[in-house]
Amino acid sequence: MLIAIAALFSTGSALNATLFSAARLSNQMVADDFLPNRLRGSEGSEPTRMLILLGVLTAALVVLWSLNAISSFASLSLITIFGAVSALAFTRRESAVTALVPAIGATGATAAATALLHHLYTAERGVFVTVVVLAAAVVAVEALYFERDRIESEIADIEEVI
């Protein structure tokens, strides 16, 4: 019983930290014009508007789908981001000596994502479908909303400086 209570508090703490950090990141994305200005809170304050929006979205996801599906999607997202960063580090390396660690990271992330999806498909089909639907929705929103030309030109400007 004590372990279950500790796990509940730990989960709540992690969720709280994730919501606040995501709200601050979103606030910065609004400031950088990557998200609509109507999501901006008042200047210099905590990002309450984004915090409430993310909290409502999180609560809706918990009500609509299982916590297992949400945590599996979060795991897949983290693995995907880690793999993408590792692959980017591998392709942008300066020498063959620096290739080993990012290659292992990219390969490991690919294997972990494949294993996670295989497990979900074979053991938890409903969770698998939910994860795929969430992933497709995230990719669709990203593809429809973000302005690729602007992002690509800013990246090119940064690369010129570097």
- 58 close to 15: Cβ distance less than 8 angstroms: yes
Mean pLDDT of 28-42: 71
Phi, psi of 107 (to 5 degrees): -65, -45
- 55 close to 64: Cβ distance less than 8 angstroms: no
Residues 27 and 69 in one domain: no
**The model's pTM:** 0.66
Domain membership of residue 14 as a residue range: 1-64
Residues 69 and 132 in one domain: yes
Residues 81 and 59 in one domain: no
Q: Which residue has the higher pLDDT, 151 or 67?
A: 67
Residues 82 and 145 in one domain: yes
Asked if pLDDT for residue 124 goes beyond 80, the answer is: yes
Residues 134 and 94 in one domain: yes
Q: Which of 15, 42, 64 is the last residue of a domain?
A: 64
Residues 103 and 151 in one domain: yes
Give residue 44's pLDDT.
60
- 26 close to 50: Cβ distance less than 8 angstroms: yes
Residues 27 and 104 in one domain: no
Q: How far is the first Cα of the chain from the last one, in angstroms, to the nearest whole number?
A: 55
Tally of domains in the chain: 2
Give the three-state DSSP class for 42.
coil
Mean pLDDT of 52-57: 81
pLDDT by residue (tens digit) across 71-121? 888 889 989 999 999 998 888 887 777 788 888 999 999 999 999 999 999
Q: What is the mean pLDDT of the chain?
A: 81
